[in-house]
Structure 1
Amino acid sequence: MRNRMRGWARVLVVLVLLGAGTTQCARGPGGRPVVEVDAPTALVDRAVHMRIGGLTAGEKVGVDLRAVDVEGKPWRGHATFRANSHGVVDVDTAAPLSGTYRRPDGMGLFWSMNPRSGDPEQAYFRPPYRGKSGFDLTLTATANGRRPVSRTLTRKWTEAGVSARDLTLAADAVVGSLFLPAAATPRRPAVLVFGGSEGGPGPAADAALFAAHGYPALALGYFHAPGLPDTLANIPLEYFRAAVRILAGQPGVDPDHIVAQGYSRGSEAALLLAQHYPDVVHGAIVYSPSDMANGGFPNFGQPAWTKDGRALAGGHIRLDHVAGPVLAIAGADDRLWPSADAARAIVKELDDRGNPHPHRALVFPDAGHGVGTFPYLAAGTRYTHPLTNEVLDVGGTRAANAAAQEQGWPQVLALLASLTR
């Protein structure tokens, strides 16, 4: 609360500096616009509030947000606004006259960025991550051909004190990245987080953000990474359990509140862990989920999951042993599979079985498979799968997916907060 009050105090100072309530704001040096940002440096998942002042009433101003992705490719979000009667554009509430997004949205410049070349619907902004604490964007305002004014915005993956360690098969018997918040008491809930049919070393950005919010997290790879199986086939649940044990043994972890978060095909593993190991996995967060155990990928003729050396039967995943909260998040326009129906089915089964723990489905009407996780990174609606090179229509719109992420991510953090002793 104290940090929030300080933030609003800064905003009030900005309002005064911009001359809110007056006929016209004072111009910046050389007659340039005045750009004010309440949090020039902030976590990736934090909204920032931007205002452009120093304009005349009704004057048009172009606002650009530029960044470079992990491959060095430039991206740009743009909007043209008309100043209000006080010579101010409040980006939170101003409707763009034109640009990369259409409706009032304070973070529209972020999620609507387009690459310089190529189809934005098939592009995903992947900012620098490994070895970096954050990345920079440049916000620029230009009015009436006058000299533009720019601000640098820094988006952070972690907060001070967060530690990170890579886990290897040789040393740890699992592949992933472990993130621990600064030492604090009491112990906190923890998250084992993993992705879907894309495979790879695990969603480290998600885990880093969890730790930044005070929740220890382990981003786990389980196939299509060095030393791991090439495809999603015959993956033992014991492998995930070994990762849970590593996480439970970390200082600052409450071993009675460890939650599995899985996306897409990973949702099957998260639900199976909560079902088969309720003593160590105490709930699940599932994005674009399935309520079924499907075959392997890309070879559906193989079993995806095993336990005790035997293939787990395909079909409906029983949820009669789940001993913790379940949050299922889906988009009703998911065109890969019926994840909205699955999210509702998961909650219905828990209801029917009288599960006493909180469980609910968040279904966003116009979102697609890209309904998660944390918000404000630009992402298209068509995805080239890394294992098959097939271009997949994942549904939704960029705006709807962005809105779902902005609304869904706080619910995930709220679930973890509810488990904090």
Structure 2
Amino acid sequence: MSQLPSPSQGHLLFKTCFYVWNPFTSLLLLGEYISLLDSSCVMLKRFVLVNGMRLLQSSISRWWHLDLGRWWYFMPGMQGKVFLSKISFTSGLLHTMSTCRIAPRIIAEPTRMLMDEKFRLEVHYLPPHRPVTLHSSLLSERQVTWEAFAQYISGPDGVVKVDRDESFGGTYFGQEPMGLIWSMKPQDKTDGMRLMKKDVTTPYVVHISVYDGHISGKFSENAALATIQVERWTLAPGVKRVEVRENGIVGTLFIPPGQGPFPAVLDIWGGGGPLELRAALLACHGFVSLSLAYIFHSDLPGPMGSVSVGFDYFEKAFNFLKSHPQVSSDRIAIAGLSFGLTIVLLMAAELPNINRWIFFFFLILHRSVDKIRYADNGSVIWRDIVLPIPEDPEQKVKVGKIRCPVLLIYGDDDQCWPVTEAADDIEKMMQEAGNAHLLTRICYPGAGHIIEPPYNAFVPESILVFPKLQMKAKLLFGGKTEPHSAAQEDSWKRLLAFLEQHLILDGKPLKSQL
């Protein structure tokens, strides 16, 4: 063998090399040991060369010459990684030209956040103008996988920024910073249930991956370029969760960290049963919150699915909050969703008659089945069961008696309830009574029935079970994914601002942080 060239002559000495395949780059050079010899040469004692689809380990019986020219440089701060561009390897008949790059990296900040908070999502170290697909997934409490994906093209800097760049395809389009969360759909299209968080003590763990090229499915069969996971929590540290079984009241109390006293919210969910998501998040924003059950709970009296509480049940819950040592007794709001809104209006207007009106609603539902319509896919449309709006004042809530501010939030594509007609009637009655100045209406075009805290996955329909009526139906909620998701984000901000305006006398409540 001829005499070996010295490093000062601008050569690179190799003893062993490995060929392995990487689907993202045509060539990848990694050095196990790297030493800079002079201004034109790098020495690697071991290296990995990626090129082609074959795995080969060989001993080199002679030395290879590596012409770096002006195309090598060391990137400081990259934990010893080397970026080599346009490398020319020559040894006999072997001649390979390609590019070596740092592996793509997903950046999520923060990686732990509350469910109503945004997070920044970026992908770095991609080739410029490269088509890639971002994919998100989580496992629900019912062990159903929910997922979303979006197709991007990296910028000239090799970076995708979800809050800056537009999605060209997938479960959402355009510039949507939280699209990978709110556009999730169940993998099992026959599941028929919406995504509900019942255990607020545990987070949703969301896995986010990036794939080479624009793909639309079978993500588990493709190799991800990079993966990261984020946790989306409902409870912040220091927020207490206390089950309430007192004086016949069934619910869950959430108390912010600190001594208080705090403003409070009585949270009444819809006919589908109690959920703690909103009450827990309100506590993270500084409000003592009681998520009250009145139907579909095993600790309530009577058969499951029936309203068996007396007229004084809701008054007891309100007084429970009012007398709590950590609650400001004169700063309490009541929030309702779906049928819970009817109860809220009844509490504000005519508390002694609540029980009669609850059963009146279910009586209307039972006797108006002939007004039920069906969508093309068989989903039930309920919105007509109380139409036309009754003219008889004895059949309506006397909202003219309300003496507190009212925030009415609804979507104009609600298919469960005639909300636009009902809102018009409420405003008309309040105008006649002289208290319309207390009413704030916010209507969201394209939004459906269940407007929840932001970024929760949207479904236009879901299965509900009504044992007393011997019904199990897939209800059509209405709405479209993008406008409904936008409504959830905006309405949550409006709700918090409304509560702060009317309940906070000495500045905003302290929001808890993860």
Q: Give the TM-score normalised by structure 2.
A: 0.65
The 5 A counterparts of 1:272-291 are: 272-277=346-351
Aligned equivalents of 1:398, 1:248: Cα separation in 2? 39
Aligned to 1:94: 165
After superposition, what is the alpha-carbon deviation per residue over 1:16-47, rounded to whole angstroms, capped at 9, x for unaligned?
x99xxxxxxxxxx9732222222211110112
For structure 1, which runs of at least 5 residues remain unmatched after alignment?
Answer: 1-16, 19-28, 279-289, 302-312
Secondary structure of the corresponding residue to residue 177 of structure 2: coil
Q: Does 1:413 align with 2:496?
A: yes
Question: Using a 3 Å threshold, how does the CA distance of structure 1 residues 300 and 45 change in structure 2: closer, same or farther?
Answer: farther
Matches within 5 A, 1:163-182: 163-168=240-245, 171-182=246-257
Question: Aligned with 1:320: secondary structure?
Answer: helix
CA distance in structure 2 between the aligned counterparts of 1:224 and 1:147, rounded to whole angstroms: 43
Matches of 2:209 and 2:236 in 1, distance apart? Answer: 26
Q: Which has the higher contact order (CA 8 A, sep 6+)?
A: 1
Deviations 1:34-83 (A, max 9, x none): 22222211110112221222123211111111110002222211111011
What is aligned with 2:128?
57
| Cα drift, residue 117 of structure 1 | 1.5
Work out whether 1:205 is the aligned partner of 2:274. Answer: no
Letter in 1 for 2:128: A
**Contact 1:33 1:143 (8 Å CA) reproduced:** no
Shift of 1:382: 1.3
Query: Aligned equivalents of 1:219 and 1:356: distance in 2?
Result: 29
Q: Is the 8 A contact 1:174 1:239 kept in 2?
A: yes
> Which of the residues 85, 100, 104 maps onto 2:175?
104
Give 1:130-149 correspondences, 5 Å limit.
130=199, 132-143=201-212, 148-149=225-226
Rg comparison, structure with higher value: 2
Conservation of the 8 A alpha-carbon contact between 2:416 and 2:476: yes
Query: Is contact 2:106-2:124 (8 Å) kept?
Result: yes
* Match in the other structure for 1:285: none
Structure 2 counterpart of 1:183 = 258
For residues 231-271 of structure 1, the C-alpha deviation after alignment (integer angstroms, 9 at most, x for no partner) is 45565331011111111122331211211111122211100
Q: Does 1:247 align with 2:316?
A: no
Q: Alpha carbons of 1:54 and 1:30: their partners in 2 closer, same or farther (altered >3 Å)?
A: closer
Does residue 393 in structure 1 map to residue 476 in structure 2? yes
Q: Is the 8 A contact 1:232 1:298 kept in 2?
A: no
Q: Which amino acid aligns with 2:156?
A: S
8 Å CA contact 1:195–1:262 kept in 2: the answer is yes
Q: Is the 8 A contact 1:33 1:142 kept in 2?
A: no
- What is the match of residue 228 of structure 1? 301
Give distance in 1, aligned partners of 2:394 and 2:418: 17
CA separation in 2, counterparts of 1:271 and 1:91?
A: 41
Residue 11 of structure 1 corresponds to: none
The whole-number CA distance in structure 1 between the counterparts of 2:190 and 2:163 is 27
Q: CA deviation at 1:100?
A: 1.3
The structural deviation recorded for 1:356 is 7.7
CA distance in 2, matches of 1:330, 1:79: 29
Aligned length: 365
Q: Matched residue of 1:136: which SS? A: strand
Alignment of 1:376-387 (within 5 A): 376-387=455-466
Which shifted more, 144-153 or 204-213? 144-153
Q: Identical aligned pairs, as a percentage? A: 26
Structure 1 pair 57–348 and aligned structure 2 pair: CA distance change class (3 A)? farther
Contact residue 268 and residue 291 of structure 2 kept, 8 A: yes
Q: Is the 8 A contact 2:138 2:207 kept in 1?
A: yes
Task: Please tell me whether the aligned partners of residues 400 and 432 of structure 2 are also in contact (alpha carbons under 8 angstroms).
Answer: no
**AA at the equivalent of 2:134:** V
Q: Could you say which residue in structure 2 is the equivalent of 1:6?
A: none
| Separation in 1, partners of 2:254, 2:294 | 18
Higher mean C-alpha displacement, 63-72 vs 393-402:
393-402
Partner of 1:294: 361
